[in-house]
Amino acid sequence: MIVGFTTRNGGVSQGNYFSFNLGLHNGDSQESVIKNREILAQKFNKRPEDFVFMNQTHSTNIVFLDKNDNYKNCGFYNESSALQDTDAVFTNDMTKILCVMTADCAPLLFYEPLSKIIGAAHCGWRGVVNGIISKTFEKCLEKILDFDLKNVRVFIGPNICGNCYEVGKDFVELLNKQYSNYISFIFEKNGKFYFDLEKAIINDLKFLGVQRKKIFNCKLCTFENTSQFYSYRFNNQTGRMINFIFCN
């Protein structure tokens, strides 16, 4: 099983998108992005139709791709063929590469070795407070008879860390009012408020029964490493990395 992430280096995109932008939706030239995706596919020795892309909308919509459904060309060449309005996907098809696009949000990739399920979820604050993580694993339990949370291995890719993720008073108020379970992940530093997205994610995973020792957090901050990573907070006209999981 391979999990990982791209950096912003190694591609053909120019300007703010320099150079390995893999997102088709953020204003970069489509040819450059497709070229970059082809570079990635070649490196992995995979076909374009093996890739699964989501049109991520900070929703809690989750798709199960069953290998018997025989779907093809999930978003490699255009947005219209990607999984629409979807922020998490899991599959029993070990030929697929599941991809989450990020530039500050947290990507979560997982593997359940006994039932042989791989999954990927896009975890920004909105998805997390609305329950994307619990809803994803609930759907796994519902669809896959022998899926067991105790076996799940999780990888959390690069994202904006708690020390960098400054939020406004309105955000703190929103959590207080509507999502009070998450208020403990706000902290104050020099009169400013910050949200610790990673901590919230790990807490959700532990609450569901995922074992802490099976959660691997890469602890790389996108906002602090802008020569390596795209960061939407650093510059909102920017590219996207791909975080991926596949069976080799």
C-beta of 163 vs 237, nearer to Zn ion? 163
Q: CB of residue 172 vs Zn ion: minimum separation in angstroms?
A: 19
Strands 153-156 and 215-217: parallel
C-beta of 55 vs 222, nearer to Zn ion? 222
Extract the tokens encoding 214. Answer: 């099976």
List residues binding Zn ion (CB under 5 A). Answer: 161, 163-164, 221, 223-224
Asked if residue 167 lies in contact with residue 186, where contact means CB atoms within 8 angstroms, the answer is yes
C-beta of 84 vs 163, nearer to Zn ion? 163
C-beta of 49 vs 224, nearer to Zn ion? 224
C-beta of 162 vs 239, nearer to Zn ion? 162
Q: CB of residue 162 vs Zn ion: minimum separation in angstroms?
A: 7
Extract the tokens encoding 208. Answer: 């569901």
| Residue 7 identity | T
Q: CB of residue 220 vs Zn ion: minimum separation in angstroms?
A: 9
**Three-state secondary structure along 14-63?**
CHHHCCCCCCCCCCCCHHHHHHHHHHHHHHHCCCHHHEECECCCCCCCEE
Q: CB of residue 224 vs Zn ion: minimum separation in angstroms?
A: 4
Instruction: State whether the Cα torsion 203-208-213-218 is positive or negative.
Output: negative
Q: CB of residue 198 vs Zn ion: minimum separation in angstroms?
A: 10
